[in-house]
Amino acid sequence: MHTGDLTVGRSHWPEFAVKVVSASKMRQLGYEGNVAREVVCLCCMSHPGVARLISHFKYTSGIYMV
């Protein structure tokens, strides 16, 4: 199913959460290593109580984790 499929109502579209970490705040606080570890841990983790990391990317204003 494609999220733009007009034959399927929005209630059937998959939902995702996005965590955004500010690049400037991350550098200011020295959290680059912490965020990198979080991404590595979430990539390897599979647990019903922990949200699965689908993708992550860096953009101008920060790090995005889907």
* 56-65 tens-digit pLDDT: 999 988 999 9
Tokens representing 57 are 């990317």
pTM (2 decimals)? 0.73
**For the chain, where are the alpha helices, taking DSSP H only?**
23-29, 32-44
Question: What pLDDT score was predicted for residue 12?
Answer: 81
State the amino acid at position 22 in one-letter form: S
| DSSP state at residue 4 | T
Q: Which residue from 51, 60, 54 is spatially nearest to 23, judged by alpha carbons?
A: 60
Closest alpha carbon to 58 in 18, 17, 19, 23: 23
Q: Would you state the pLDDT for residue 3?
A: 57
What confidence tens digit (pLDDT) does each residue in 28-45 have?
A: 999 999 999 999 999 999
Check: CB of residue 44 under 8 Å from CB of residue 37: no
